[in-house]
Structure 1
Amino acid sequence: MSQTPVRPDVGVRPARRADAAAIAEIQVRSWRDGYRELLPAAVLAEVTGDAARTAWRERWAESITGPPSPRHRVLVAVAEGLVTGFAAHGPAEDAGGDPSVAELLALHVDPLHTRAGHGSRLLSATADVLRDDGCTTLLTWAFEGDTIVRGFLVSAGWAPDGAARTLDMGEAVRQVRLHTAL
């Protein structure tokens, strides 16, 4: 009887300040790859350009070293010493202060490292951390037209909860809210 070997070079850990540049790069690459059909071209160019990349790096460094609350966290997926993806979570804004409800604020895997389980590991680690914090529900917003992310979340046990919002990005861009029990 053979067993699948354990890969010690793959995992998830809390983000460190030194990871901020890699997180910003992954965010920019994943947005360019995944949102090119979902966002207006001018908006996408603005949020993924060189100036934005620098701003994102600074924001992620601040989020890692001085989060807005003790319940805000950033996790990174790593493989062979490289950051391959990240997830950020915090208290859910839509929960009216209910500490049992958290929000997945970001989940991105580098387009060069998709389909390797990094997103699933990040989602699982996020759920583990939040359960340890006493959370029972996790929410997130996804672009209505993002069938890849929505399909991934639904396959992981998430479901739309009926809430939607429209972002003004020079044109209306609709998002739907999904939730899962932890």
Structure 2
Amino acid sequence: MADVGVRPARRADAGAVADIQVRAWRRGYAELLPADVLERVTSPPALDAWRERWTQAVTTPPSPRHRLLVAVASDLVVGFAAHGPAEDGDLDATADAELLTLLVDPVHAREGHGSRLLAATVDLLREDGFRTLVSWAFEGDEVLRRFLGSAGWAPDGTARDLDMGEPIRQIRLHTDITPDTTPDVTPAQ
């Protein structure tokens, strides 16, 4: 197996991150978003805009608690995750964080990169003192919902509709990320 891992994104990774985003959206959102919307957000001009936004995420993040991580395999960026303090009005930005996005290049799907990205994200957020992690998912995005569900996430009852020429429903998922403080009790031999 190739060398794999997760590391903080570098400025030079922004192009690969944007490329992965566009490929993953084209593959994963084709059935979820109106075709004209998907075309617009994955077009060549949009790709350029995404590259600039991801460059800014690395070079001038909104806060020190906003991070962009990349999954690598043999020095090739194959996925990414972005997180920061939660911004929803009903959440506490000092205790609640948001997984803003987690995407893996479709060519490298089902190789464990998403799980590594999620674990690294949780580790960093715990270090920053967060206790809960939330993320928004399209209601019909069964792949993401199953992935997060397998890691202990569940809907928290909050939903919203995005206006994309037609309303597209999103639900908010959450999970407790407080470290397990149960003492390890091993019977004496």
TM-score band (shorter)? over 0.9
User: Which of the residues 148, 156, 162 maps onto 1:161?
Assistant: 156
Equivalent residue for 1:35, pick from 26, 29, 36:
29
State percent identity of aligned pairs: 68
Does the residue aligned with 1:93 lie in a helix, a strand or coil?
A: coil
Question: What SS does structure 1 have at the residue aligned with 2:168?
Answer: strand
Cα deviation for residue 98 of structure 1 reads: 3.3
Q: CA deviation at 1:9?
A: 1.2
Aligned match for 2:63, one of 49, 62, 69: 69
Secondary structure of the residue that 2:57 maps to in structure 1? helix
Q: CA RMSD in A?
A: 1.0
Q: Distance in 2 between matches of 1:87 and 1:141?
A: 13
Distance 1:180 1:64 in 2: 26
Q: Which residue of 2 aligns with 1:22?
A: 16
Over residues 4-48 of structure 1, what are the superposed CA-to-partner deviations in whole Å (9 max), with x where a residue is unaligned?
Answer: xxx671000000000000000000000000000000000000000
- Which residue does the alignment assign to 1:138? 133
Asked if residue 57 in structure 1 is aligned to residue 51 in structure 2, the reply is yes
- Choose the corresponding residue for 2:82, options 83, 88, 113: 88
Unaligned stretches of 5+ residues in structure 1: 1-6
Corresponding residue for residue 129 of structure 1: 124
After the TM superposition, which parts of structure 1 deviate over 2 Å for at least 4 consecutive aligned residues? 95-98
* Selected match of 1:148 from 133, 143, 147: 143
CA distance, structure 1, for counterparts of residue 59 and residue 113 of structure 2: 23
With the length of structure 2 as denominator, give the TM-score of the two structures: 0.91
Residue by residue over 1:41-97, the C-alpha shift from the partner in whole angstroms, topping out at 9 and shown as x without a partner, is 000000000000000000000011100111100000000110000000011011544
Aligned match for 1:113, one of 84, 96, 108: 108
Q: Please give the alpha-carbon distance, in whole angstroms, between the structure 1 residues aligned to 2:42 and 2:30.
A: 11
- Provide the aligned length of Structure 1 versus Structure 2: 176
For residues 125 and 47 of structure 1, the distance between their equivalents in structure 2, rounded to whole angstroms, comes to: 28
SS at match of 2:107: helix
Letter in 2 for 1:81: D
Give me the whole-angstrom Cα distance separating, in 1, the residues matched to 2:36 and 2:2: 42
1:101 aligns with 2:96: yes
1:43 and 1:31 mapped to 2: Cα distance?
Answer: 11
**Aligned partner of residue 75 in structure 1, secondary structure:** strand
Displacement of 1:150 in angstroms is 0.3
